Chain A
């Protein structure tokens, strides 16, 4: 066989020599040189001043503060939790819990420390342990309203609305009239008296309230208005709740609730405005992703898939890390991710039902019903889940126009 082309001006021998020389050099370089592009490779900085932890990033206890003074302790814990809230960084909740538990080892009856511990446990969805700590607080300080209020909120999360109302009534003698009233109307609004409770709550809101109480009242009122099918009034309350947060970083739970409201109202652009830059916390990032996908879907076909795929690439490592850490408390986020971001309702159903079984916030019930209504009659698991939700609704008298619409589609 003849393969004819020759490199012009080069004899075969010279060509081979040059080729072998240059490629061998390349090969040797490849085998010898290690490059810093190998990101995970271990390295020792040559510069002793190389910054390993930047200023302000050290955990609070590492800065040399001690836990001797209760005031300093309380301040340190509060600052650490606030940093976790502001930076959406769960690492700080861990550090704060470590400090609280150390404090409780030497001062097991410190009510403030116990309340903080219970709040931190609630953030981790460790509801049973949190309830146990609140009960301890009530035994130690029966007049303390915080424990009753927090336990009322826990009862609501579990779907025990009658129990919630009982705990709210305990506040009448222990907290301000407004706090007790907001709590009671919120509880009654979940048990078949939605319209009247909403009107009463609006009257409470007209009074001058502490900004934190005002924010809570507005949040409750917004939820009630949304359940009544009055989106304009709900929107006004949400806006007021955000304003009540003032210049501080709005709580993530508030943003999640508002984003869910906008998404149900088919207003994804508002979610993108609301959550711009909020990519540090899974629940928020997932709402942002869902809004981004919804906006892209409204533009042209094909675009939404590219956007979806970009978000999946961003969010999936997070879920994988949870799995690697053996974390069990992210069923709600997993369900939301699978349904709203990955568009996989079949896979989303199981974690959504697990989340709803453990916690019955409006967003949990709505997500489960949205998934069921997409899956339709063909899925046995969906039909069984729907039956459970319908029984619970009947039992509690829970009212929600949005749920009614979804039920109509689902059944």
Chain B
């Protein structure tokens, strides 16, 4: 994903806010194709139309009581007018089929980078074939504000990232969604790569596994650590922990991707950070040593939901959901194993060295725990 597109996504997801709020007006038409649950071969288009309420007020009368402000009741009272305005000014077609909202969506608000936007989120009543051409035209606002731009983004499983800007001079855009006719091998390698890449850039997952490994070469004896006697014992303990983590996150990754469970990003990310803190602190003051695999299993369930959010954001090809899921999972395992292969020999060599047990391991664990506590604060919003 290009940086501007990534940045725009961050803005639209509310992850970034512009400290300098004043921008020329923009509205957004986000179209996302998702596999048709009814089992047809095409995809269902979901629309999210987002428009700043101030801009909407230039075209739809919202201030019913004339007090110079608009409240939520006035927006709801204008419901029919807003829908009519949408129908009159936005047109989406797939091939020769006009796509209309399949159900009247409730009006809602979203806080985006420069204020409150009215959000109109709905599935559309057209099925998109794999090689469909989607046409979007939007004439809204260009008369009342020629500087207005409507940014249209179209995404779908296996599609290239598509984005165009509509303006008064060019208020129509055509999107060719033809996927790059990805082969099974392409899908498999792409999702393996994404799994490895997610582990590589996911510092929280790396630190969780790394914190587990730091003491896998040691055995608790009274109040101090002693080196594990045999490499075999170390390998068995590593296998036990890695297997617990893998089985657990595979379960929840699959359940999430199949839509059977759904996690709140804030909670899941916070608990992932908590899991890192717990494992790191356990290295310093162990209370879970002989049950660490059980704790790893439980936390692995949460990490799985975290992996799933990444996979869902990537978009699964409808014709190969299972394959993509499997490949992504294998990628995650590969990334994890790579970490083990890189770190474990070093730790095996260090385990007999007293400063490692007395200083290096506890200090590294403390640093990891502090980092995790920082993440907890950041992700729960305590530090924002």
Contact = CB atoms under 8 A, between A and B. Distances in A.
A324 B4 contact: yes
Contacts of B267: 29-31, 33, 35
Given A40-B112, A52-B72, A5 B287 contact: yes
B72 A50 contact: yes
A62 B62 contact: yes
Interface residues of B, number: 95
B121 interface: yes
B130 interface: no
Contact of B12 (A1, A3, A40): A40
Interface string A34-56: 11011111111101111111111
A95 B58 contact: yes
Contacts of A31: 261-264, 267-268, 305
Interface in A54-102: 54-59, 61-64, 87-91, 93-95, 97-98, 101-102
B37 interface: no
Interface string B238-273: 000000000000000000000001111111100100
A60 B29 CA distance: 25
B264 A35 contact: yes
B92 to A, nearest CB: 20
A320 interface: yes
Nearest to B10: A317
A32 to B, nearest CB: 8
Interface stretch (A279-287, A342-350, A382-390): A279-287
Contacts of A64: 61, 63, 66
Contacts of A408: none
B294 interface: yes
A19 interface: yes
Contact of A23 (B15, B17, B144, B298): B298
A127 to B, nearest CB: 16
A209 B288 CA distance: 84
Contacts of B299: 23
A15 interface: yes
A2 B381 CA distance: 41
A53 B57 contact: yes
B295 interface: yes
A53 B199 CA distance: 43
Contacts of B55: 59, 91
Give the most central of B14, B119, B291: most A CB within 10 Å: B291
A59 B72 contact: no
Contacts of A51: 69-71
Contacts of B266: 35, 37-38
Interface in B8-25: 8, 10-25
A49 B73 contact: yes
A15 B147 contact: no
B54 A320 contact: no
A63 B116 CA distance: 19
Nearest to A101: B146
A24 interface: yes
Contacts of B4: 320, 323-324
B108 A44 contact: yes
A58 B59 CA distance: 12
Contacts of B263: 30-31
Given A37-B266, A95-B144, A325-B165, 14 more contacts: A5-B287, A19-B295, A40-B14, A48-B71, A57-B54, A58-B70, A62-B63, A63-B63, A90-B22, A124-B147, A280-B22, A282-B20, A325-B24, A326-B165
Interface of B: 3-5, 7-8, 10-26, 53-55, 57-58, 61-63, 66-76, 106-113, 116, 119, 121, 143-149, 151, 163, 165, 167, 219-221, 228, 233, 236-237, 261-268, 271, 286-292, 294-295, 298-299, 301-302, 305, 380-381
Interface of A: 1-7, 12, 15-16, 19-20, 23-24, 26-27, 29-35, 37-45, 47-59, 61-64, 87-91, 93-95, 97-98, 101-102, 124, 279-282, 285, 314-318, 320-321, 323-326
Q: Which 4 A-B pairs have the closest CB atoms?
A: A40-B14, A39-B14, A94-B147, A320-B7
